[in-house]
A = this chain, B = another copy of it.
Amino acid sequence: MNAAANKLEEQTLTDRQKAVLDTALQLLVEGGEKALTTSAIARAAGCSKESLYKWFGDRDGLLAAIVTRQASKVRTPAHSDEVVSKEQFVQELNHFAQDLLEVISGEVSLALNRLAIGQASKGDDALGRQLLEQGRGRIGEQMTQLMAQGAKLGFVKVPDAHAAYQILYGLVLKDIHVRLLLGATLKQEEADFKSAAGDAVSQFMQLFENCTK
């Protein structure tokens, strides 16, 4: 278990181990947590259960490794270019909103969130914390930063950059995330992410656009 814990912290994973985690994630996406048995993972990944326990300690360690593995694969969209015009700022917001909708409604994101929520129902919020920090946390930070930049340049007038980000988040997602987690399918107009993102951003700008020139 010591070796396994170190593996998780230092994130020094063999290519083989990464491949196993990817296979496990695929299994999770396809069949939910119920399908994610250690035997099934070993079978699908072509490794032995003994190796799984050697590498990841126990089943919970494996689940945590899956989450961190996926989080490490998330690339920040690298739109860190300087924002120079209000049009560009709005365009960045649109880009962000559309990205958010696409990520949140993706099968992988839904499966991981369902997994973490299942763990939370057992009183263990470790996975949920990890998901919030490494998943939404990063994009949130980046967004908060963009928001602060927009405020500094006078495009928007917001008292608190992070609060503004949260409001945009709400305008974009509404109750879509939870509905998807519950297994619902989006209505036609909701599935048009580009249009939905545009609506949300224009509402956001209407709220916070700097009218004092």
Using a CB–CB distance below 8 Å, which chain A residues touch chain B? 31-34, 111, 113-125, 127-129, 131-132, 136, 166-167, 169-175, 177-179, 181-184, 203, 206-207
Show 23 residue pairs from A and B whose CB-CB distance is below 8 angstroms, ordered by the A residue: A32-B122, A33-B118, A33-B121, A33-B122, A34-B122, A111-B121, A113-B178, A114-B118, A116-B183, A117-B181, A118-B118, A120-B182, A120-B183, A127-B182, A128-B181, A129-B182, A129-B184, A132-B182, A166-B175, A167-B174, A173-B175, A206-B206, A207-B207
Main secondary structure of the interface of A (DSSP, over half): helix
- Which of B31, B114, B120, B174 interacts with A170 by CB under 8 Å? B174
Which residues of chain B are within 8 angstroms of A119 by Cβ–Cβ distance? 183
Which residues of chain B are within 8 angstroms of A203 by Cβ–Cβ distance? 167, 207
A118 near B121: Cβ-Cβ < 8 Å: yes
Q: How far is the CB of A210 from chain B (nearest CB, A)?
A: 14
Are A167 and B171 also in contact (CB < 8 A) when A118-B118, A125-B184 are? yes
The 3 closest A-B pairs by CB, nearest first: A125-B183, A128-B182, A120-B183
**Given contact pairs A125-B184, A170-B170, a sample of 9 additional A-B residue pairs in the complex whose CB atoms are under 8 Å apart:** A32-B121, A117-B118, A120-B182, A124-B183, A128-B181, A129-B182, A171-B171, A177-B177, A207-B207
CA distance A203 to B203 in the complex (A): 10
- Which of B116, B128, B169, B182 interacts with A116 by CB under 8 Å? B182
Which residues of chain B are within 8 angstroms of A182 by Cβ–Cβ distance? 113, 116-117, 120, 125, 127-129, 131-132
Q: How far is the CB of A147 from chain B (nearest CB, A)?
A: 14
CA distance A207 to B209 in the complex (A): 12
CA distance A107 to B181 in the complex (A): 18
- Which of B117, B171, B172 interacts with A114 by CB under 8 Å? B117
